[in-house]
Amino acid sequence: MPNSSGRPSRPVAGRSRRPFSSNTASGDSARRSSSAHRSTPRTGGYSRPNSSSSSSSSFSRGGYAGGRSFGGRSSFGGGSRGGSSRGRGRVMSTFDVSKFINLNPAKPVTEAPYQAKHTFNDFGLDKDLALAIATMGLVTPSPIQDQVIPYILQGHDVVGLAQTGTGKTAAFLIPVIHKTLHERSRQTLILTPTRELAIQIEQELRRLTPRMNLYATVCVGGMNIRPQISGLRRKNHFIIGTPGRVQDLIDRGHIKPGGITTVIFDEADRMLDMGFIHDMREILKDIPDERETLFFSATMSKSVEGLVNDFLRDPITVSVRKTDITNSITQDVVRYEHHNKFDTLVNLLKTEEFTRVIVFGAMKHSVEKLSLELVHAGIKADAIHGNKSHVQRQRALKNFKDGRVQVLVATDVAARGIHVDDVSHVINYDLPGTYEDYVHRIGRTGRSDKSGKALTFVPAH
Ligand code: AMP
């Protein structure tokens, strides 16, 4: 799939109301509900690709110490909303190193190719929208699109179990745009866990709605609220935002929940992990019950299932989750001594095959520091974390996507929903806070049909 970096010609920021165009009809209702998996790692140890300088004992082979558990809560800094750990997913209070090792990954995507049952023409979409889809180069509906679009068009509540990279954004945008073009009084609220994801969705919305006179405002935290408020002054067909800021704007009277006809939760599991549950519930409280609700999540845990039961009416569930994405990613641990953890990282990054690397750190400040130290050590690096301004984050991401920097150092939260092709390695310099975080982190590599490599730093002693 082409990546989502289709750059908008104008800046997005927290206002982006802009026209997209056209005219009348809508949907109705019906409903039902579903599952998830996990990895089967093995043992091993990372052996350096070019052992010419393998003198460093820090990433010695045979890293695995027979399933020994280590660490307590504090060992797994795992970035989170604002760096705290409130509302996280399952915390790994004891940690089995073998979970980070899989030296014989399955060949990526050995599953039979999906046979789409529809073409985009089959959906009977508005002709301008169909044209925009074709212009974007989307030819065949992806599996999630193929399965979910008809239900959304019919007005069903839908649960879509799909990771990023599956085309899930277009899966919900396309039918909702179609319905909005035919019933312009509709207003859709899209909630996302991070501002980056909100902006990416808005970018895709723009690409799908040229000259259609549809309006959207992005309402995300960490950015000046004023342009968002002014963007909300006139009717928006789409409001895309993070739960905290959206709730704030509802409280201030700038978003009127009574007028919202469709609510979309994107990466709902991440929102839960990030402690947004209270805001999510509050936001829904005043949105009319007759709303349509679409719920996208990469995982289906008990708590996610609880949300589905509370928020959706008789939903149809469609799952396109791969059997196990972690299976196709080579995973290993890197043993380090405390005194030379950083040097161990630098040595790895200087290895030829580490062409495009995301390094995960635990905290915002440590991520920033690590990035500066890497630059100092001669590695082209940039950082993405919550203490950076929006513009800085976007710039770092662009530098990384465009190949101007080799390494992106990131906190978990900042990395949510990042779509970057050809990430050669994910390095967990600091341990993730939860196993879900681990899976999410390493999923940044091995996207689509590519194989990926993930390395996790664990103390030698
Ligand atoms: P998402 O799962 O929404 O993060 O989508 C990831 C990427 O897939 C985006 O760059 C989309 O432009 C791309 N994409 C979406 N739908 C399709 C499709 N039907 N065929 C090919 N690429 C697609």
Q: Is the pLDDT of residue 448 over 90?
A: no
Using alpha carbons, select from 245, 314, 318 the residue that is nearest to residue 280: 245
Minimum CA distance residue for ligand 1 atom 17: 167
What domains, with CATH codes, occur in the chain?
43-107+324-459 (3.40.50.300), 120-319 (3.40.50.300)
For the chain, how are helix, strand and coil distributed in percent, rounded to 5?
A: 35, 15, 50
Give φ, ψ of 336 to 5 degrees: -130, 150
Structural tokens at position 266: 């994107």
Q: Could you tell me if the CB of 138 is within 6 A of ligand 1?
A: yes
Distance between Cα 164 and ligand 1 center (Å): 9
Using alpha carbons, select from 397, 364, 400, 39 the residue that is nearest to residue 203: 397
Q: Is the pLDDT of residue 4 over 60?
A: no
Q: How far is CA 95 from CA 274, 281, 419, 425, 438, in A?
A: 21, 33, 28, 22, 12
Task: Give the DSSP H/E element, type plus range, for residue 197.
Answer: helix 195-208
Strand 69-70, strand 95-96: pairing? antiparallel
Q: Average pLDDT of 227-251?
A: 97
End-to-end CA distance of the chain: 43
> Which alpha helices (DSSP H) does 331-381 contain, by range?
341-349, 364-376
Residue 117's identity, in one-letter code, is K
User: Measured between alpha carbons, how far is 104 from 330 in angstroms, rounded to an integer?
Assistant: 7
Q: Could you tell me if the CB of 166 is within 6 A of ligand 1?
A: yes
- The neighbour count for residue 193, using CB atoms within 10 Å, is 24
Distance between Cα 405 and ligand 1 center (Å): 24
pLDDT score for 95: 63
Give φ, ψ of 216 to 5 degrees: -140, 145
Q: What is the pLDDT of residues 322-351, one digit of tens each?
A: 655 667 788 999 999 989 999 999 999 999
Q: Could you tell me if the CB of 142 is within 6 A of ligand 1?
A: yes
Q: Could you tell me if the CB of 170 is within 6 A of ligand 1?
A: yes
Residue by residue, DSSP assigns 32-47 as ----------------
Q: What is the pLDDT of residues 101-117, one digit of tens each?
A: 887 776 655 556 788 99
* Contact yes or no for 358/410 (Cβ under 8 A): yes
pLDDT score for 420: 81
Q: What is the pLDDT of residues 402-434, one digit of tens each?
A: 999 999 999 987 676 677 878 999 999 999 887
* Contact yes or no for 427/359 (Cβ under 8 A): yes
Write the Ramachandran bin of 226: left for phi over 0, alpha for psi from -120 to 50, otherwise beta. Answer: alpha
For the chain, the residue count is 461
Task: Give the DSSP H/E element, type plus range, for residue 281.
Answer: helix 277-285
Minimum CA distance residue for ligand 1 atom 21: 1
Q: Which atom of ligand 1 is nearest to the CA of 136?
A: 12
User: Measured between alpha carbons, how far is 156 from 154 in angstroms, rounded to an integer?
Assistant: 6
Distance between Cα 120 and ligand 1 center (Å): 14
Q: Could you tell me if the CB of 192 is within 6 A of ligand 1?
A: no
Buried b (16+ CB within 10 A) or exposed e, 408-433: bbbbbbbbbbbbbeebbbbbbbbbbb
Q: How far is CA 421 from CA 25, 251, 323, 451, in A?
A: 38, 39, 21, 11
Q: Which of 65-79, 277-291, 305-319, 361-375 has the lowest mean pLDDT?
A: 65-79
Distance between Cα 166 and ligand 1 center (Å): 6
Distance between Cα 137 and ligand 1 center (Å): 10
Residue 100's identity, in one-letter code, is F
User: Measured between alpha carbons, how far is 267 from 272 in angstroms, rounded to an integer?
Assistant: 9
Q: Average pLDDT of 250-266?
A: 97
The angle formed by the CA atoms of residues 259, 260 and 262, to the nearest 5 degrees, is 155
Distance between Cα 134 and ligand 1 center (Å): 13
Task: Give the DSSP H/E element, type plus range, for residue 218.
Answer: strand 216-219
Distance between Cα 138 and ligand 1 center (Å): 8
Q: Which residues are CB-contacts of 378 (< 8 A; sequence separation ≥ 6)?
A: none
Q: What is the pLDDT of residues 43-96, one digit of tens each?
A: 334 433 333 332 222 223 233 222 222 222 223 333 333 333 333 444 454 567
β partners of residue 240 = 190, 218
460 compared with 113, residue with greater pLDDT:
460
Q: Could you tell me if the CB of 3 is within 6 A of ligand 1?
A: yes
Using alpha carbons, select from 151, 141, 126 the residue that is nearest to residue 294: 151
Q: Which of 129, 135, 139, 169 to mutate to test the pocket of ligand 1 (most atoms within 8 A of CB)?
A: 169
Place of tokens 């990466």: 267
User: Measured between alpha carbons, how far is 141 from 148 in angstroms, rounded to an integer?
Assistant: 10
Minimum CA distance residue for ligand 1 atom 8: 167
Q: Which atom of ligand 1 is nearest to the CA of 141?
A: 19
